[in-house]
Structure 1
Amino acid sequence: MSGALLVAGTTSDAGKSVVTAGICRWLVRQGVAVAPFKAQNMSNNSGVTADGAEIGRAQVFQAAAARVEPEAAMNPVLLKPGGENSSQVVVLGKAVTDVTAMSYRGLKAQLFEQVLSSLADLRSRFDVVVCEGAGSPTEINLRDTDIANMGLATAARLPVLVVGDIDRGGVFPALYGTVALMPPADQALVAGFLVNKFRGDPRLLAPGLDTLQQLTGRPTLGVLPWVPGLWLDVEDSLDLDGDRGPALPPVGEDVLRVSVVRLPRLSNFTDLDALAAEPGVLVRYATNPAELADADLVVLPGTRSTVSDLAWVRERGLDLALARRAAEGRPVLGICGGHQMLARSITDDVESRSGTVPGLWLLPTDVVFARDKTLARPTGSWRGHPVSAYEIHHGVVTPDGGEPFLDGVRVGAVSGTTWHGALENDGFRRAFLADVAATTGRRFTAAPDTDFAAVREARLDALGDLVEQHADTDALWRLVEHGAPAGLPMLPPGAGWTS
């Protein structure tokens, strides 16, 4: 068996990533060797594979859903936005160039060869490859150079499942319009629909689904109910506004409040997922000094553009709020780009090309950006607790004093590290939160049995359950094994094509 399926969506954030993960988990529970694939991902939320390749974080958790090690072939092209009109292009896990939106168009033909080669490689080694599209498959202004949606589907003859988010409203015109705007060759591969995030009695939806099938000739293969608290390794900072599930009551007497500075080019914000899963820890995102005032811990997270986001921090007056916290001995944690901001100086002739600029002067460190990116999975310890993590950065931080803190330093209550994922280590997280509570005088007790790996695994199982219980899995099997059925009707010509 060498089957494949493309999960497309009517919009960004329609649920493609979680549906892909759910299908991967459902298949692997059937004894199928399955791999995820996203030809082109645009995200600053990335991870590192065992051999030091950088790929989208969504593909890392989809690989976890499939119970396989993530690898570069699962996300051959990653675009990391660094400004209003520029992105770093990462190919097979390594940064190769920076592009604008227009200059990238000329690069796509070359990248498409790598995309198809990576997909063929995965299909030769796995029974099924579940592909995730990017954005919408009917961006008619981009169709001629598309390598991630219908361009991929037509080249590889992939059956396409279109996901629509009913919680946004307008799911029926979105599903119909997605197909209607496609040229006939693309329409021929769209085999069905999936409705995501439905609240209420699905019987109320049935008349609309029947009419949609009459109009398009394509069935709806499932209605997935709204389930709060399934947030997982999201790839877009827009998802931070979504439902993160109910807050768990504290084990001790107090709640620990964590304010995360919501930088404009925020990256790897999944570092904070483990804190949000901890009972009695309230994580919120802040953009002004008032939102830091009552926080027990302020986190400066990662960023794709350290110097530009540091300027934003100063424009918002957040630099003064952070300086006051440090002077008062109130905890601050900088991670990767946030760690770099805490330094005395930052010399960047690589990302921003700004030369040397002053940092926040909260740690005795200096930063110099190297042209080659550091990609690694380091291990270490803090106060006897083992820590495994991953690194993705150009900035090299050199300390000059301070107490060791993982790979970085600590002065007073201000700590910095370039290590992403450190807070997912349960012993380290509990010890660090206990230290924050002791410093701030909170009567907070970290839950002794919170296992973040088990939390993530349970959420992946819940996604698999959604597919198994609410999707037509027999129809999914047929698509995976045999492709899109022949003779699917063509909708009348739309704006995107002519007959």
Structure 2
Amino acid sequence: MGGGLLVAGTTSDAGKSVVTAGICRWLVRQGLKVAPFKGQNMSLNSFVTREGAEIGRAQAMQARAARVEPTALMNPVLLKPGSDRSSQVVLMGKPVGEMSARGYHGGRQKELFAPVLACLEELRRTHDAVICEGAGSPAEINLRRTDIVNMGIARAARLPVVVVGDIDRGGVFAQFFGTTALLAPEDQRLVAGYLVNKFRGDVSLLEPGLAMLDGLTGRPTLGVLPYAHGLGIDEEDGLRVSLRGAVRESVVAPPFGADVLRVAVCAVPLMSNFTDVDALAAEPGVVVRFVDRPEELADADLVVVPGTRGTVRALAWLRERGLAAALARRAAEGRPILGVCGGFQVLGERIEDEVESRAGAVDGLGLLPVRVRFAREKTLARPVGEALGERVEGYEIHHGVADVRGGEPFLDGCRTGAVWGTHWHGSLESDGFRRAFLREVAAAAGRRFVPAPDTSFDALREEQLDRLGDLIEEHADTDALLRLIEKGAPEGLPFVPPGAP
């Protein structure tokens, strides 16, 4: 049985995903066979494995950090919110139904514990180390009874736990102490130490506080990771992450041609796989921003309508905001629009939905000759094809079935004038196709923009993952992390009662 470690966090977006990826990359560089794991994930950013299973994109990226192929074992339960109170439950990569939060935590979650634990055990049997990521905070005591992703899985598998805190938010000492103190004694015995994330400044000024924290809890801080820009890769907690990581308010790299290219992404409700635009933001001379007002489309050379878990809701939102009318004017003027998955569906003529929204027949924006019918079975695929003379790879995650009735074929969708639509996520990560597409956009927009001839999105991602591995290697106590992975939490860790100071 291979070793393991659980990376928990004091809050959502404390940095669990990137720290887990960094530890995976550092370990694989030490010659170990490593796998990531997250028993239960809640995210609208998902990915399709080669066997056709849907998992969180964060786990797919962590698998890449570990240099292994992602599988459903790495994220056995995925929750995809459809509203504030309900989510689609995806088990072992396949949807098994919609459930309210109360219904899930009231009983269904307990049923999933055995398969989640079995997946972890299988990964530990076949790998030297499994680095697990928690969800939210382990100190969400209202959910502890049904927990299958934080201390529940840690206790069942006897995993040592390292708690990550985001010092850039402030209050990290209180977060570390409070998180530990709220845990039951049996859970506390597994909390082996802390990792400070996103620190700016002189570490020596922090050291007295770290010493006091050790004195109060009996647990060391195993590293202080500096703030690093541009490492919010494929995280799951919402648009705010992408706004920080991918959106350029100014061009970081100078354009290869004479002009920059401006891309506006409609921030539709329940936006899914907004990571599709990361490849555009990686191009020198391309500025990407998320928008929610029609006037923000005025200077855009390309408008992207991204995927969504609520197609009919997104369609209504576009109309209410005045964005639908602005998109129609763009199409009439021959100004480029790209719709991806749910965004492709809203650009069509008609939607028949008795599955997602149960709204029945709804008129689309009518910008593409497409009619969409929602099927109960979800399409999960990894297509390969050709567009604009270039090879393209992508992945599909949708209930909508498109009946294309005209236009030019485009990645199993279609193109009419300067309006493109496809169900394929990830297509813009294919470098040759992305450059060809941007040349077409620039020509239609009248821009003297030239795509950089050597930008490799794959190489940029590898560079980011290596930077994460470097952060762990250079700023964490790697000897202590290895001991935890190999031997578990040390014996005799003290109990920290609430209010102990």
* Alignment TM class, shorter chain as reference: over 0.9
For 1:26-78, what per-residue CA distance to the aligned partner results, in whole angstroms no more than 9, with x for missing partners? 00000000000000000010000000000000000000000000000000000
C-alpha contact 1:182 1:494 (8 A) present in aligned 2: no
Alpha-carbon distance in structure 2 between the residues aligned to 1:117 and 1:74: 11
Q: Does 1:335 align with 2:340?
A: yes
Matches for 1:347-496 after TM superposition, within 5 Å: 347-493=352-498
What is the identity, as a one-letter code, of the residue corresponding to 2:218? G
Q: CA deviation at 1:204?
A: 1.0
1:109 equivalent in structure 2:
110
2:297 equivalent in structure 1:
292
Matches for 1:66-85 after TM superposition, within 5 Å: 66-85=66-85
Alpha-carbon distance in structure 2 between the residues aligned to 1:492 and 1:411: 65
Alpha-carbon distance in structure 2 between the residues aligned to 1:29 and 1:192: 23
Q: Structure 2 length as normaliser, TM-score?
A: 0.98
SS in 2 for 1:35: strand
Q: CA deviation at 1:263?
A: 1.0
2:193 equivalent in structure 1:
192
Q: CA deviation at 1:493?
A: 3.8
1:301 equivalent in structure 2:
306
Alpha-carbon distance in structure 1 between the residues aligned to 2:126 and 2:189: 27
Q: Does 1:344 align with 2:346?
A: no
For 1:129-183, what per-residue CA distance to the aligned partner results, in whole angstroms no more than 9, with x for missing partners? 0000000011011111111101111111110000000011111101111001111
C-alpha contact 1:181 1:494 (8 A) present in aligned 2: no
What is the identity, as a one-letter code, of the residue corresponding to 1:113? A
Percentage of pairs with the same residue:
68
SS in 2 for 1:372: strand
C-alpha contact 2:10 2:163 (8 A) present in aligned 1: yes
What is the identity, as a one-letter code, of the residue corresponding to 1:272? V
Alpha-carbon distance in structure 1 between the residues aligned to 2:252 and 2:291: 18
Q: CA deviation at 1:241?
A: 3.1
Alpha-carbon distance in structure 1 between the residues aligned to 2:9 and 2:415: 45
What is the identity, as a one-letter code, of the residue corresponding to 2:221? T
Alpha-carbon distance in structure 1 between the residues aligned to 2:407 and 2:4: 53
- The change in CA–CA distance for 1:70 and 1:218 in structure 2 (over 3 A counts) is same
Alpha-carbon distance in structure 2 between the residues aligned to 1:195 and 1:8: 12
What is the identity, as a one-letter code, of the residue corresponding to 2:227? W
Q: CA deviation at 1:233?
A: 1.3
CA RMSD of aligned residues (A): 1.1
Q: CA deviation at 1:230?
A: 1.5
Alpha-carbon distance in structure 2 between the residues aligned to 1:182 and 1:231: 29
2:7 equivalent in structure 1:
7
C-alpha contact 2:233 2:245 (8 A) present in aligned 1: no
Alpha-carbon distance in structure 2 between the residues aligned to 1:241 and 1:313: 20
For 1:74-132, what per-residue CA distance to the aligned partner results, in whole angstroms no more than 9, with x for missing partners? 00000000112110000000000100011102101110011001000101110100000
Matches for 1:130-279 after TM superposition, within 5 Å: 130-237=131-238, 238-244=240-246, 247-279=252-284
What is the identity, as a one-letter code, of the residue corresponding to 1:352? S
SS in 1 for 2:142: coil
Alpha-carbon distance in structure 2 between the residues aligned to 1:247 and 1:356: 45
For 1:203-246, what per-residue CA distance to the aligned partner results, in whole angstroms no more than 9, with x for missing partners? 11111111110111000000000111123112122312324477
What is the identity, as a one-letter code, of the residue corresponding to 2:6? L
C-alpha contact 2:77 2:91 (8 A) present in aligned 1: yes
Structure 1 residue runs of 5 or longer lacking an equivalent are none
Structure 1 consecutive aligned stretches of length 4 or more whose deviation exceeds 6 Å = none
What is the identity, as a one-letter code, of the residue corresponding to 1:158? L
Q: Structure 1 length as normaliser, TM-score?
A: 0.98
What is the identity, as a one-letter code, of the residue corresponding to 2:454? D
Q: Does 1:62 align with 2:62?
A: yes
What is the identity, as a one-letter code, of the residue corresponding to 1:260? V
For 1:247-302, what per-residue CA distance to the aligned partner results, in whole angstroms no more than 9, with x for missing partners? 21111111100000011200001101100000000000001101111100000000
